[in-house]
Structure 1
Amino acid sequence: MLERFDGIQPHHLLGLSVRTMVTEPVFVGVADGHPAVRDGMIDLADLAGCEWVLPPPHENAARIRFLDACESAGFTPKVRHYTSDAVTARAMVEAGCVCMAAPSFRSSGGVSAFPLRGDPLRAEVLFAMRANDTLDPTDRFFHCAALAYRAGVAANPHFQRWWDEHPQEHAELDAAITTGANTDP
């Protein structure tokens, strides 16, 4: 599975057959008890005074979308720390920073991930395989990838709630699971 980087459309991935699995929200990781959390959600504007920890700029595919979303919320983020290491990022969040997080992030160690009200940050999760691969039909592979992705939704109860409230966002993935379940291996 792939995440689409800013400025790269699926047709630019030469030699690959690409299909969108789901467009998921980007969540925010915060320390448990963070004052910005209300009703299991966070308004991005409420994080204006926070220090952010993000992946290094050369690794951050969502950087442009993140900066645009913050600007639309009325602030420029205070990005004080960069790390690619999840353990380091978690420690910084425990100490009061905030970070972008995958919606399937498992809460533990005093850190949880919550959706942003209005889903201002989203990421396309893509399924890709070689265009000339004839080992198995793409739909069977897509079905397996969809099952694996869907299994991670329950890892975060806030993602499960978002999932239940936004069925249109994962209709193709759900259809692949249902169709694949009716197909003989």
Structure 2
Amino acid sequence: MDLELRHLRTLCLLADTGSVTKAATALSTSQPALTTQLQRIEREVGGRLFHRGRSGVRPTELGEFVLVRARTVLLSMDDLLHDITARGASPSALRIGGVGPLTVELSARLPEIFPGVPVHVRTEYSPKLVTDLVRAGRLDLGTTIDYVDRDLTTDGPLAWAMLAVDPLHVALWADHPLAGETFIRLEDLAGCPWALTPPDGTGWPECFYLACQRAGFSPEVPYRLHDRSEIRDLVADRRAVAPCQSDFVTGRGVVVRQLENAPIQLRHLLVWRRDSVVHQAAERIARLTRTILERDVVRS
């Protein structure tokens, strides 16, 4: 069996509804037939994509990995069927997307460069999805991140600006034995349980596991959560430590410390299409975005 677009749409619908019954109804098929189809897809990809239970279905770690890519493929296919026009004209609205609060802060400042132009904002979990939305012309501008030192100059129609490099930090409970250190060696956390966010399509959490391997241990990861506030609560309750960015919310029993020798480096990026409405103003937008990042660093 070869995977087809309809299979990818089925997986996304299952994830969105959280229920085989609801997904089967939306697809006008029976629950047994949909279950059989899901089993065939799982055999094709080589593993279970969803945990099944009385409360419904939720993606496994492999499922999260597949879903990020499935949504990207579907968005790209939608673009083939969507006539994108007037890219070079003055924008009637600017569409900006990204990961994290930087996107919202930048959207509030864009009228300084494009006065009188409405700004539409969307945030995503996956940095790769943001990049693919820009590539497809569904966004005019994206703020994104990656973890690898790859060449950004040859990515098809896309143009990039590097904004900042942020070494990954770690969130600890306030009375953790290492909380008083300014820098913490990753190997000194080998015995701790970890809480991680799911795969984001740009190398996470693979880069974390690789860094731990280089530090001489395999991390125990009992918690994989989307919601960073839930991760923060786990840390505050002394149930886990968590890799995080420098702006991770602290206080109320949580501290953030930098990892010694920066074993994982996170790179903040701005991305747009060379034929988009923002291309001529890209340098000004990049300078503005760096100003926002620098101000946030000073605040933290």
Query: What TM-score results when the alignment is normalised by the length of structure 1?
Result: 0.75
Contact 2:195 2:225 in 1 (8 A): yes
2: CA distance between counterparts of 1:21 and 1:52?
29
Query: What is the percent sequence identity of the aligned residues?
Result: 24
Structure 2 residue ranges without an equivalent (≥5): 1-142
- Aligned runs of 1:54-133 on 2, under 5 Å? 54-57=196-199, 61-96=203-238, 97-133=240-276
1: CA distance between counterparts of 2:230 and 2:197?
11
Point out which structure has higher relative CO (alpha carbons under 8 A, 6+ apart).
Answer: 1
1:57-109 CA deviation, whole Å, 9 max, x = no partner? 46683212111111111110001101010121011111221111111223222
Off by >6 Å, runs of 4+ in structure 1: none
Match of 1:146 in 2: 290
Match of 2:183 in 1: 41
Name the count of aligned residue pairs.
156
1:108-127 CA deviation, whole Å, 9 max, x = no partner? 22112110011111111111
Query: How far off its partner does 1:24 sit?
Result: 1.2
Query: What TM-score results when the alignment is normalised by the length of structure 2?
Result: 0.48
Query: How far off its partner does 1:5 sit?
Result: 5.6
> Which secondary structure does the structure 2 equivalent of 1:49 belong to?
coil
The answer on 1:22 being equivalent to 2:168 is no
- Aligned runs of 1:165-184 on 2, under 5 Å? none
> Which secondary structure does the structure 2 equivalent of 1:152 belong to?
helix
Over alpha carbons, which structure has the higher Rg? 2
> Which secondary structure does the structure 2 equivalent of 1:106 belong to?
coil
Match of 1:53 in 2: 195
Letter in 1 for 2:272: M
121-130 or 5-14: bigger deviation: 5-14
Structure 1 residue ranges without an equivalent (≥5): 157-185
- The Cα RMSD (Å) is 2.2
